[in-house]
A and B are shown apart, each in its own frame.
Chain A
Amino acid sequence: MSPKYKDGSGLTRCPPVDNLQVMQPSGYGNLPDARLDATFAALADPTRRAILARLASGEASVRELTEPFAMTQAAVSKHLKVLERAGLISWARDAQRRPRRLEAAPLAEANEWLERYRQFWEDSYVRLDALLAEMKQATTKRPRGGSRTTTKRKGK
């Protein structure tokens, strides 16, 4: 199964990661790490992501979830177990079809966590953009003695 997230050059694009070191040690240390690990591990697999994407559009039975994949129902069930353990999906035990449904909370939590990693450099670089714009302006606008500006007055 070739991962879709690789572009033609074989490069993997992902959010900035070195800030991960900045964020990890203590700043956000009160996050439930074990659950996040389970969430990320569950999300690492393309089939499981596809299953989640399917469930995002509505609940579905194991059979329905198996249809799009070249896999046995047993193989899909294994993936579903991983997703269940991560709390990403749940199912109604009393219903006959036992449809699986998406649980939003762990995803929101994982997204928030990842978002912070990425956001660190993203935000920093956006600030750097602003600083550089300011520096450029300061350079071009520096008044020089006796310089003739081309500012034109309106009217005469």
Chain B
Amino acid sequence: MTMSSTPKKSLEITTPSDEEIRITRSFDAPRMMVWDAYTRPELVKRWLGAMPGWSWAVCEMDVRKGGKYRWVWRGPEGVELGLGGVYREVVPGERLVSTERYDQQWYEGDAVGTVEFSEAKGRTTLVTTLRYASKDVRDAVLQSPATSGMESGYALLDELLASTAAA
């Protein structure tokens, strides 16, 4: 149960508005390279969804305005997990806006994801903003009790687990 992640690589999660969740992370590469890694299926398959025991079943991406994408992972015992959507805005190296809906959607409405790419000193920062249908949905996604205490909950859990021999 390690929590070791170097600061510069750590994810930052914020809630910029009532309906949104924002994830920020920077990468040591120019933005066109990050864009490629984000939009070319053969590259996307190399990094997205690194769940142990899961593998890619479908990775189709037609990255242009109005184009569709579909991602399906296959997990233990043949369980499949799929999602897909439509690209609404495609500005290479800058901005990728798409809708997303899970096959087994457990919240209302499509979410809209916006990924913004910006580069400084050879590093690219990705800002992914997910906008949900309402605050209620956003909060459901965030699982509000966990959100309100997640970070400190984590720190505490780590501490507790470290100090408690039993398990």
Contacts of A139 in B (CB 8 A): 33
SS of B interface (majority): mixed
Task: Choose one: B21, B50, B147, B149; the contact of A120 (CB below 8 Å).
Answer: B50
Q: How many A-B residue pairs have CB under 8 A?
A: 199
Contacts of B79 in A (CB 8 A): 26-27
19 A-B pairs, CB-CB below 8 angstroms? Answer: A12-B151, A13-B13, A14-B146, A15-B150, A16-B13, A23-B51, A24-B106, A43-B156, A111-B1, A120-B50, A121-B11, A124-B49, A124-B50, A128-B47, A129-B9, A129-B28, A130-B47, A131-B37, A131-B43
CB distance from B127 to the nearest CB of A (A): 13
Contacts of A80 in B (CB 8 A): none
A64 contacts the other chain (CB 8 A): no
SS of A interface (majority): helix
Q: Are B152 and A120 in contact (CB under 8 A)?
A: no
Give the contact-size bracket for chain B.
35 or more
A interface with B by C-beta (< 8 Å): 3-5, 11-18, 20-27, 40-41, 43-46, 49, 52-53, 56-57, 102, 104-105, 107-108, 110-111, 114-116, 118, 120-133, 135-136, 139
Q: Are A27 and B156 in contact (CB under 8 A)?
A: no
Contacts of B167 in A (CB 8 A): 104-105, 108
